[in-house]
């Protein structure tokens, strides 16, 4: 699949994945599902689900370390600034009209282009 096709697919997912309600219970259900899958696959990750103003779910898998929460924070910053999934941002950087331009003033210690962050839309 071409990059443009992947971007279009992600844009479709972002447009269609809209919650009628998103609260602590929904975050817990989603977070628990992701956590269970990560445990089953032995993935050394963290799972963090949050709204703009506060965290709603957090879990650290065996093998995760102190850098994982900072990595997640940097992905969250990208989602909050651009209102796009972080994987879409990764793909868009392969286009000449990219939005995460070198020299734009975004500190790499606060922003990272890596998949895993997805905007929550209600």
Domain ranges for the chain, please list them. 3-92
Chunked mean pLDDT (size 10), the chain, 122 residues: 90 96 98 98 98 96 97 95 93 75 77 92 94
Please state whether beta strands 46-50 and 55-60 pair in parallel, antiparallel, or not at all (unpaired): antiparallel
Cβ count within 10 A of residue 86 = 23
The whole model's pTM is what?
Answer: 0.87
Q: What residues contact residue 77 under an 8 Å CB cut-off, 6+ apart? A: 110, 111
Alpha-carbon torsion (33, 42, 116, 9), positive or negative: negative
Provide the strand spans (E) within 1-122: 46-50, 55-60
């Amino acid at each position: 699949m071409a990059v443009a096709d992947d971007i279009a697919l992600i844009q479709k997912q972002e447009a269609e994945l809209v919650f009628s309600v998103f609260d602590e219970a929904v975050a817990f259900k989603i977070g628990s599902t992701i956590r269970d899958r990560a445990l089953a696959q032995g993935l050394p990750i963290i799972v963090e689900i949050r709204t703009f103003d506060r965290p709603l779910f957090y879990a650290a898998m065996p093998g995760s370390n102190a850098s994982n929460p900072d990595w997640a924070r940097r992905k969250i910053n990208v989602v909050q600034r651009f209102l796009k999934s972080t994987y879409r941002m990764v793909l868009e950087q392969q286009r000449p009209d990219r939005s995460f331009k070198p020299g734009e003033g975004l500190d790499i210690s606060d922003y990272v282009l890596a998949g895993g962050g997805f905007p929550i839309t209600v």
